[in-house]
């Protein structure tokens, strides 16, 4: 039986002509995700239970039971950066190698974070919807110039947001306990925060760029939302689970903070009756952070090369 590779991300298809020849010339047969959506655990087991040595995976779930059931699996190549959908301990135990497509989508996600910041600062979606309903009224916004942007997590994406924020004349606060001394702190407009509480208290905009881990789950909770300024705006392009969504709803409904804009949600897609979606001061986009022509092209090539390298080692 030939060796097979499962490719789950839907957007892979847009640039598959770049990656398929590389994979096929190594003698692998390709299994595509034809469902048009993220695969379920059982669907992955059905497709990859036997003969699949490598998976290029998006946000499809790879918990312990799936990894155990995929008995020929040797390597997982993440088509992106967040590894929270993979049971890393089980993968280690089973000697399954893992790599991620570092440096492929950081500019795209950073640009979306900045776009969401402006969208909220100037109420762009709300005002546009009002105009389409026939109302030519105005809502007063705020400038971002001179404001403080707090970054929770300052890795590849956080750094791109930081650069852009400095270009906009903002001050930047950084909370990232795993960052060593870094030249970014030589800039007088960049300061390190020693706690998330301090960052929430001081920032006009808070933007989340940390991975989902047990430490970061609900890192923005009721108590921290209460520390934030009444005019503060929360931006989340990382993972929905970083924010306690019930607490966020209450803070937005009670106008404890001015707004929140997210590209991610705890359940994607959210339930159509989700209460946050009914609020005018909440924006949600459909996990489009890395969904640009440029990032998708890079993710396709890098994730394919990462997988082939791991399988050849």
Q: Name the residues that contact ligand NAD, by CB under 6 A.
A: 80-82, 105-106, 109, 152-158, 175-179, 209-213, 215-216, 237-239, 263-264, 287, 289-290
**Do residues 54 and 312 make contact, with C-beta atoms less than 8 angstroms apart?**
no
The smaller minimum CB distance to ligand NAD, of residues 157 and 284, is found at 157
* Residue 297 falls in the annotated catalytic set: no
**Tokens representing 180?**
């060593």
Q: Smallest distance, Å, CB 189 to ligand NAD?
A: 19
The smaller minimum CB distance to ligand NAD, of residues 138 and 180, is found at 180
Catalytic residue of the set 100, 159, 209, 287: 287
* Residue 287 falls in the annotated catalytic set: yes
**Residues in the chain, total:** 313
Catalytic residue of the set 239, 241, 258, 298: 239
Q: Smallest distance, Å, CB 151 to ligand NAD?
A: 9
Q: Smallest distance, Å, CB 120 to ligand NAD?
A: 16
Three-state secondary-structure class, residue 14 = helix
The DSSP annotation for 65-116 comes to HHHHH-TT--EEEESSS--TTB-HHHHHHTT-EEEE-TTSSHHHHHHHHHHH
Nearest residue to ligand NAD by CB is: 155
Q: Smallest distance, Å, CB 96 to ligand NAD?
A: 19
**Tokens representing 24?**
């096929």
Distance, CA of 306 to CA of 64 (rounded, Å): 22
**Do residues 236 and 260 make contact, with C-beta atoms less than 8 angstroms apart?**
yes
**Tokens representing 200?**
């929430």
* Residue 239 falls in the annotated catalytic set: yes
Catalytic residue of the set 32, 43, 68, 268: 268
The smaller minimum CB distance to ligand NAD, of residues 237 and 281, is found at 237
SS3 sequence, 254-272? CCCCCEEEECCCCCCCCCC
The smaller minimum CB distance to ligand NAD, of residues 53 and 225, is found at 225
The smaller minimum CB distance to ligand NAD, of residues 179 and 279, is found at 179
206 membership: H or E segment, kind and range: strand 205-208
Distance, CA of 74 to CA of 307 (rounded, Å): 10
Q: Smallest distance, Å, CB 2 to ligand NAD?
A: 33
Catalytic residues: 239, 268, 287
């Amino acid at each position: 039986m030939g060796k097979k590779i499962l490719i789950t991300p839907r957007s892979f298809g847009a640039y598959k002509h770049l990656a398929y020849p590389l994979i096929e010339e190594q003698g692998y047969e390709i299994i595509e995700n034809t469902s048009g959506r993220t695969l379920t655990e059982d669907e992955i087991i059905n497709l990859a239970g036997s003969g699949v040595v490598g998976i290029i995976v998006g946000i499809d779930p790879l918990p312990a039971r799936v990894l155990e059931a995929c008995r020929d699996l040797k390597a997982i190549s993440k088509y992106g950066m967040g590894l929270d959908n993979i049971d890393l301990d089980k993968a280690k135990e089973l000697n399954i190698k893992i790599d991620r497509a570092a440096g492929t989508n950081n500019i795209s996600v950073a640009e979306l974070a900045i776009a969401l910041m402006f969208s909220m600062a100037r109420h762009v979606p709300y005002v546009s919807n009002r105009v389409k309903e026939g109302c030519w009224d105005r809502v007063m916004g705020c400038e971002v110039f001179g404001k403080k942007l707090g970054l929770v997590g300052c890795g590849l994406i956080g750094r791109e947001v930081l650069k852009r924020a400095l270009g906009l004349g903002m001050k930047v606060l950084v909370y990232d306990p795993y960052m060593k001394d870094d030249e970014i702190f030589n800039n007088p407009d960049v300061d390190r925060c020693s706690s998330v509480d301090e960052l929430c208290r001081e920032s006009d905009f808070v933007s989340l760029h940390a991975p989902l881990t047990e430490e970061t789950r609900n890192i923005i909770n009721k108590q921290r939302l209460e520390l934030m300024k009444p005019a503060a705006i929360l931006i989340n392009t990382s993972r929905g689970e970083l924010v306690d969504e019930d607490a966020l709803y209450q803070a937005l409904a009670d106008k404890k903070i001015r707004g929140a804009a997210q590209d991610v949600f705890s359940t994607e897609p959210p339930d159509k009756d989700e209460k946050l979606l009914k609020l005018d001061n909440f924006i949600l986009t459909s996990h489009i952070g890395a969904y640009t022509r440029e990032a998708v092209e890079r993710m396709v090539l890098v994730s394919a090369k990462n997988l082939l390298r791991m399988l050849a080692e």
